[in-house]
Amino acid sequence: MNPRYEKLRAFLEDHPAAREAAKPLKTGAAIRIVLTDDGSEYTYTVRRGCPVFEPGKTLDPDVTLSVPPGAVDSLLSVTEQTVQGYGLRILELADTDDLTLKIRGAAHSGLGRLWRHGYFNYLWMGGRQFVAYLRRKGVGTISSIQERLHSARKPAD
C-alpha cells in the first residue's frame, strides 16, 4: 500500500473542507486517482452522502487524476483550510510546470454526465478567486469548459 494513501484517505474522508467539497457529487460520480510514485490506483466517490477513498481500479471513472507525491504533500499543507483554499491549490498544482507537483487530469465523460454528477457545483463552491483563476486560464465559461473537455477527453483504461 502506498504510504501516502492513508494520509490522503484521512484527509479526503475526514477533513471538514474535504467533506464539504464532496457534498455536490451525486450517486455514480467516480474519480480515479493514480499515485504516480508507484502507479497505485484508488477510487474516490460518495456513498450515502459521505466521501469514500479506497484502493482499487475505478470501473467507470468520470475523470482520472494522476497525482505525484509532491502534490499530495502540498495539498495536505494548505494553510487556508477551506473548500476555496483547497480548490485553488488543486488548480495551481494542475497548472504548474514543476513535474514533481503537477496533477494531471483526463476527462472520460462528457459535459452532460459531469453536470449530472455534480462537478460543476465546484464553480460556485470555489468562490470568486477560483473562478477568476479559471478565467485567467481561458476556461471561465461553460462553453470554454465544454471545448476543453471535448479536446481532452480520453477513454478510460
The CATH number of residue 116's host domain is 3.30.1050
| Domain hosting residue 59, numbered range | 3-152
Task: Report the domain count for the chain.
Answer: 1
Q: Within the chain, where are the H helices?
A: 3-14, 16-22, 69-76, 83-95, 111-116, 121-125, 127-136, 142-152
Per-residue pLDDT tens digits for 76-102: 988 778 888 888 889 899 999 999 999
Q: Does the residue 97 lie in any domain?
A: yes
Asked if 108 and 155 touch (Cβ cutoff 8 Å), the reply is yes
Q: Does the residue 29 lie in any domain?
A: yes
Taking CA 8 as the corner, what is the angle to CA 4 and CA 9, rounded to the nearest 5 degrees?
115
Q: Does the residue 139 lie in any domain?
A: yes
Q: Does the residue 35 lie in any domain?
A: yes
Residue 120's pLDDT band (cuts 50, 70, 90): confident
pTM of the predicted protein model: 0.88
Q: Does the residue 157 lie in any domain?
A: no
Backbone φ and ψ for 46, nearest 5 degrees, come out as -125, 130
